[in-house]
Amino acid sequence: MFVRPDIFQLHYLRVKDDHDDNLNQLLDTIGSRKEIVILGDFNAHVGSKTNDPVVGPYGENNLNDNGSRLIAITCQHSLQIKNEFFKHKDIHKFTWTQSTLQRKSIIDVVISKQNSRIKFNDVRGHKKADTFVNNDDKDDKTHVINNFRFNLDSLQNESTTFLYRHRLSAKLKNVPYTDGLTMYYNIMKRVEEAAKEALGEKPHKVNKNKK
């Protein structure tokens, strides 16, 4: 099957536009008094700037289409890409590396309001991001995020989507304001708990050839 490159490119741009529209609509629904913290892989190269409220001076040099789109969204909602404002060695600066081609990039970002009440002491990449200190449990100081396969297909059901949003909203109300790294893992822990309760585990495929 042959697919014309221009048709594929058009579809790819539409997917990007839909993503940006959905993110903008979601941010529009958040009240001005509420905090916003976005963590994710946007595959965006946003470059670096000095004296800029959105992009800091310690980013990478490259700027791609995803980066321009992300900058536009953050500007529109008075947000800030936190990675760019903390100086680090490359091992903690870049979140993606390709050793064969010697390529490095910052594609995983932390975004918050420019006037956030949350004090970010540092934002850096960590090699072992699946393990963190759990201050809520005195007996077990280490919590490991499980490789749990969530039943994402269940989100097609409106009642499941409502339940997940309700559970997550309730759990995020109790996230304490701490340092950036601890707060990140506290949020991730609550997202994981809400997903387990609302979505459940993805059913395992049965191997019909297995005797």
Whether 137 has a pLDDT exceeding 50, the answer reads: no
Distance CA 191, CA 184 (A): 11
At residue 209, the pLDDT reads 56
Strand partners, 128: none
At residue 7, the pLDDT reads 54
0.95 cut: is pTM over it?
no
For strands 37-41 and 108-113, give the pairing.
antiparallel
User: Quick check: 57 and 48 in contact, CB under 8 A?
Assistant: yes
Whether 63 has a pLDDT exceeding 80, the answer reads: yes
Give the whole-number percent of the chain exceeding pLDDT 70: 76
The model's pLDDT over 170-209, given as tens digits with 9 standing for 90+, comes to 888 777 766 666 777 788 888 888 888 988 877 655 455 5
Identify the band that residue 132 occupies on the pLDDT scale cut at 50, 70 and 90: very low
The model's pLDDT over 15-61, given as tens digits with 9 standing for 90+, comes to 888 889 999 999 999 888 888 999 888 889 999 999 999 999 998 88
